[in-house]
Amino acid sequence: MQSVPGKHNANKRFEDTAKYFLSNSQLRRNLHRATRTIREKRSNAVAELSDWQVLRKTGEAIKRHTMRHLDRYLCELETSVKNAGGHVHWARDAKEANSIIVDLVRKQKVREVIKMKSITTDEIGLNDALKAAGIQAIETDLAELIVQLSGDEPSHILAPSIHKNRAEIRELFRQTIGGKELSDEPEELAEAARQYLRKKFLETEVGISGVNFAVAETGTISIVESEGNGRMCTTLPRVLISVMGIEKILPKWKDLEVFMQLLPRSDAQRMNPYNSFFTGVTEQDGPEEFHLILLDNKRTNILTDTTARQTLHCIRCGACLNVCPVFKRTGGQAYHSVYSGPIGAILTPQLKGVDKQGPASLPFASTLCGACYEVCPVRINIPEVLVYLRGQVMKQRYDHQYSKQNINSEHIGLKVLAWAFMSRNRYEMAQKMARKSQKRYVRNGYIDHLPGPLKKWTQARDLQALPEQSFREWWRNQS
């Protein structure tokens, strides 16, 4: 087996690292079992609503409107949060966001913080930034805790440890937080984590959370979860810091009616067990200080692209991952990004740049089957964006090759094809030449090998031979 690829290495291409994960049969079994179960539950949950397609269209319309007027709603949100006693901080990028959070924690003179699951904080590498400042971030979500204790990386937006089974988790807990007599029963594993975290909840003075939705009208922050650890993080500490990508905003309180139906059912639940809504600070009720970090980190760049802008509609439900034939075989770690699966394949290149070979490979990590579009609760046309980004990647590579005067055979071949396709006479002449050239390679109507640079095309596929007569030639002969 190959060596394990490095964590979130922007230089690692998906097609290279996927080979390692595909060779792990246990990983594939874990993913197949987990994603199949989630898909079935989601299908049942969605089928209970007769107006599901109407909800999807409504969610899409709200998101489209919000992105069109994002500047206005962000300013309204800032005003609402401040009026409710909170503080708002604007962060251009990951470095600035981490600097703000580290400064806020240092002012409290603490060495530990508790965190609920937040993919946005994973995006900016907050845990590493805190560690560099001498501050330990303790993950309180069970799956995130498993990932943290194992020194691993998340493999799913909503289920970070989906690639591990109970036996693997039992061995991990035995070596870290649990006793040697620990079994692999879910109740015992959860109890071991509960005992470990309880003291942290009661003693730690700073909590850090993400944000599912923020309401511009009221300044309300909405967090949905399944375990209750998030509620402990947002109510028990004296200081709460919430990190939010600027696209997570909703204009009105009533808009939550739509998204509080779309999000849980897309995650295979009728309703999330824990739904928290808080606005600013309230005396003798919850944190004494509340800080909201509004993170850009290239989101405004995405906003300027009219085709790719719909990427920002994502509500992080994870439905697209569970139906993707690529993801459910490789898992999320092969993507080398905190955003994996179909949504990661379009979001990561825009956040990290199509000029980096790792992110640039992700739009090609798809069969374009369209299953992700069918299940997306806000109707993001992921296949459309994938094809668009593939074009951007190829254009960037093309421009780079020509700027370096490094013209290769692929570019020459494509130029010749473009020249031939621009004229019917040239196209028909090329057809006749191809018919003559193929004769020595045709076997039973198929070409199973080609020479030179074309050899790679036939290593894994057979090409159907060109017919002796084209349709145009046949049609002319009939008249």
- How far apart CA 83 and CA 110 sit, in angstroms, is 28
CATH architecture of 15-300: 3-Layer(aba) Sandwich (3.40)
- Is 455 within 8 Å of 464 (Cβ atoms)? no
Q: What pLDDT score does 472 carry?
A: 87
Confidence (pLDDT) at 359: 94
Could you give the CA distance from residue 266 to residue 270 in angstroms, rounded to a whole number? 9
Q: Which two tokens stand for residue 21?
A: 């994960």
pLDDT tens readout for residues 256-315 = 999 999 999 999 999 989 999 999 999 989 999 999 999 999 999 999 999 999 999 999
Nearest-angstrom CA–CA distance, 30 and 38? 12
Q: Which residues of the chain have pLDDT under 70?
A: 1-10, 400-410
Predicted TM-score (pTM) of the model is 0.83
Query: Distance between CA atoms of 159 and 368, rounded to whole angstroms?
Result: 24
Neighbours of 29 (CB within 10 A): 11
The predicted pLDDT at position 397 comes to: 77
Q: How far apart, in whole angstroms, are the C-alpha atoms of residue 164 and residue 167?
A: 8
Q: Which residues are bridge partners to 279 per DSSP? A: 220
Edge-first strand listing for the sheet containing 213-215 = 249-250, 213-215, 220-225, 274-279
Q: Domain-by-domain residue ranges, the chain?
A: 15-300, 420-478
| Nearest C-alpha neighbor of 303 from the set 246, 379, 348 | 246
d(CA 32, CA 445): 38
pLDDT of residue 1: 37
Tell the residue number behind the tokens 């621009």, with chain if given. 422
Q: Residue 439 has what pLDDT?
A: 87
- Let me know: does 399 contact 407? Beta carbons within 8 Å: no
- pLDDT on residue 3: 45
